[in-house]
Amino acid sequence: MGKWTADVVTEPSKDHALCLDLFEDEIHRARLQRNDQGQLVLVCYGDTFEVPAVWLANVIQRFVADAGTP
């Protein structure tokens, strides 16, 4: 398992809504974003991969706290 990082970005096609891009060794693996119903969803890209659950839970908690609710 590689080194995981997360970057807060905005999505121009969704009125610049905040999203969280997840990278493993600089490979864009997933995006945490709100869907059209306002639910927080994880969109995964490419091959099957493993994400450290504790790290992901902490990242999600920080993102929700910083971004707030819709």
Residues 29-64: pLDDT tens digits?
999 988 888 888 889 998 877 788 889 899 889 888
DSSP assignment of 29-70 equals EEEEEE-TTS-EEEEE-SS-----HHHHHHHHHHHHHHH---
Q: What is the pLDDT of residue 57?
A: 92
pTM: predicted TM-score of the whole model, two decimal places: 0.77
* pLDDT beyond 80 at 70: no
* pLDDT beyond 90 at 20: yes
Domain range enclosing 16: 4-67
Q: Quote the number of domains for the chain.
A: 1
Q: What is the pLDDT of residue 69?
A: 60
* pLDDT beyond 80 at 25: yes
Locate 5 and state its tokens. Answer: 């990082």
